[in-house]
């Protein structure tokens, strides 16, 4: 089955998405997500200028060989642009293979390991009470797990808090907006938030929190300790992880479970964290880590070390990524949880899909492939709109991690 056409579709039904569509001489097509928030056109150009010319005429069934060809064959390995582009090709080819077999994708991975994929939603508010009311809303919607973020007194804005509650979108401006940050104020506020949430909701709902790369290891250790009474499902991205060994400090000081990995692209970026059992959940997902083919390798290594999966699922990952991730999640033996920020109705209309939410779980459908498609004529009505993630400064103006 030969690849006869591949094209990149950029569309912005409220936010930008990049999608690769591959067509074969047997008339089958598959799609893959290639969205990299704030750097979308770099991946589109990488696909158009460098990968697509190498794909035409290849056997669409040779997923592994094509993956190796694009990864090793480039000489320049890894990085978010390269790996998102490879992921798009890989996801589209898995979609095609499953369609050719007449099976939902999870059957090709090894079949179901569970009946549904537990997901967590995003509750946020300007203060503790508003966040608590939002957690309540998610529990009412049936969620078993909720991530909670809240405003910090004295800071005008902070990561994870938005006016648009269900559809939070971080890429919020034509050029990067600037936020101000104070770790001291944050470390005072977060334990109060979770104390309130546990006193209002008890210990039944799973609660999660994302520190979004803003702390040092010893600050993260202190936060982890102060959150221990509230038994979080995980504390995410407390410290940037370029220096994987640095996570040992956090690990030695707290039993709060640790998650990291949404910005990783390869297994090499989490190898030490996994092999030395410094984390509990790896957040890498299909689109930014080389597709199903490479994500599966990360999960297999993680399984040897008691690390479970917790795929990134923010709204900047398209429904195509979510659909593929759900097939991965329903199969992967060491599944932990799946993030699920709802897409807007406009986005869902551009990407018709067969997955559905039921009582805190997402359920992949039984359609052959990964179950997500793109309505190209609708997509064409939403042209690309430049949008950036914010940048972050300390109170004295020093640029810091966002």
Give contact residues for ligand KDG (rule: CB under 6 A): 37, 170, 210, 212, 262, 312, 314, 316, 339, 389
Q: How far is the CB of 367 from ligand KDG (least distance, A)?
A: 27
**Beta strands, E only, 57-130:** 117-125
Do the beta carbons of residue 257 and residue 232 sit within 8 Å? yes
CA dist., res. 357 & res. 29, Å (int): 26
Distance of closest approach, residue 116 Cβ to ligand KDG, in angstroms: 21
Q: How far is Cα 162 from Cα 124, in angstroms, rounded to an integer?
A: 7
Helix, strand, or coil (residue 203): coil
Those residues whose C-beta lies under 8 Å from the C-beta of residue 27, and which sit 6 or more positions away, are none
Q: Which residue number, 151 or 368, has a Cβ lying nearer to ligand KDG?
A: 151
CB of 1 to ligand KDG, least distance (A): 34
H helical segments located in 254-290: 271-275
Q: Is 361 a catalytic residue?
A: no
Residue 212 beta carbon to Mg ion: minimum distance, rounded to whole angstroms: 6
Task: Find all residues with CB under 8 Å of 216, minimum gap 6, and list them.
Answer: 239
Residues 146 and 83: their CA atoms lie apart, in Å, by: 29
Q: How far is CA 274 from the centre of its chain?
A: 18
Nearer to Mg ion, 134 or 316 (CB): 316
Nearer to Mg ion, 90 or 262 (CB): 262
Confirm whether 384 is a catalytic residue. no
Catalytically annotated residue among 206, 209, 212, 353: 212
d(CA 81, CA 284): 15
Q: How far apart are CA 294 and CA 261, in angstroms?
A: 14
The one of Mg ion, ligand KDG, none whose footprint includes residue 314, by CB under 5 to 8 A per kind, is: ligand KDG
Binding mask 250-279 for Mg ion (x = CB under 5 A): ------------x-----------------
Q: Which of 159, 340, 355, 361 is catalytic?
A: 159
- Backbone φ and ψ for 70, nearest 5 degrees, come out as -75, -30
Which one, of 14, 12, 85, 15, lies nearest residue 53 by Cα?
85
What are the tokens at 248?
Answer: 């040992």
CA Rg, the chain, in Å? 20
**Residue 26 beta carbon to Mg ion: minimum distance, rounded to whole angstroms:** 40
Task: Spell out where 187-246 has E strands.
Answer: 206-210, 234-236
Q: Which lies closer to ligand KDG via its Cβ, residue 82 or residue 338?
A: 338
Q: Which is nearer to ligand KDG, 236 or 373 (CB)?
A: 236
- Nearer of residues 151 and 369 to Mg ion, judged by Cβ: 151
Strand partners, 33: 19
Indicate the residue among 103 and 389 with the shorter CB distance to ligand KDG: 389
Restricting to residues 192-221, which ones interact with Mg ion according to CB under 5 A?
A: 210
Q: How far is the CB of 391 from Mg ion (least distance, A)?
A: 17
Spatial separation of the C-alpha atoms in residues 287 and 31, rounded to whole Å: 12
Q: Is the Cβ–Cβ distance between 338 and 313 less than 8 Å?
A: yes
Shortest distance (Å) from residue 238 CB to Mg ion: 11
Residues labelled as active-site residues = 159, 212
Name the site residues for Mg ion (rule: CB under 5 A). Answer: 210, 262
């Amino acid at each position: 089955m030969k690849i006869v056409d591949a094209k990149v579709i950029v569309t912005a039904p409220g936010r930008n998405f990049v999608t690769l569509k591959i067509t074969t001489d047997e008339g089958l097509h598959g799609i893959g997500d290639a969205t990299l928030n704030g750097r979308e056109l770099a991946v589109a150009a990488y696909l158009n200028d460098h990968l697509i010319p190498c794909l035409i005429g290849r056997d669409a069934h040779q997923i592994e060989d094509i993956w190796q060809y694009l990864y090793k064959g480039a000489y320049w390995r890894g990085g978010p642009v390269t790996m998102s582009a490879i992921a798009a090709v890989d996801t589209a080819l898995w979609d095609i293979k499953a369609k050719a077999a007449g099976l939902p994708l999870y059957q090709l991975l090894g079949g179901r390991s569970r009946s549904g994929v537990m997901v967590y939603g995003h509750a946020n508010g300007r203060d503790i009470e508003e966040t608590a009311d939002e957690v309540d809303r998610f529990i009412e919607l049936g969620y078993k797990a909720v991530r909670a973020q809240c405003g910090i007194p004295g800071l005008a804005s902070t990561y994870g808090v938005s006016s648009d509650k269900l559809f939070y979108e971080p890429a919020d401006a034509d050029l990067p907006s600037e936020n101000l940050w104070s770790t001291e104020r944050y470390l005072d506020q977060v334990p109060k938030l979770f104390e309130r949430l546990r006193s209002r909701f008890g210990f039944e709902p799973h609660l999660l929190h994302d520190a979004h790369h803003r702390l040092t290891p010893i600050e993260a250790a202190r936060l982890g300790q102060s959150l221990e009474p509230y038994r979080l499902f995980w504390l995410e991205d407390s410290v940037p992880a370029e220096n994987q060994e640095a996570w040992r400090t956090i690990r030695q000081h707290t039993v709060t479970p640790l998650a990291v990995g949404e910005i990783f692209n390869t297994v090499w970026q989490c190898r030490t964290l996994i092999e030395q059992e410094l984390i509990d959940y790896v957040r890498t997902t299909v689109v930014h880590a080389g597709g199903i083919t490479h994500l599966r390798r990360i999960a297999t290594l993680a399984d040897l070390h008691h690390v479970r999966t917790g795929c990134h699922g923010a709204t900047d990952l398209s429904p195509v990524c979510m659909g593929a991730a759900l097939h991965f999640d329903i199969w992967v033996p060491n599944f932990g949880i799946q993030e699920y920020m709802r897409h807007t109705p406009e986005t869902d209309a551009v990407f018709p899909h067969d997955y559905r939410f039921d009582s805190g779980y997402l359920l992949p459908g039984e359609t052959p492939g990964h179950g997500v498609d793109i309505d190209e004529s609708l997509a064409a009505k939403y042209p690309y709109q430049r949008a950036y993630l914010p940048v972050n400064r300390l109170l004295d103006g020093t640029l810091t991690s966002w």
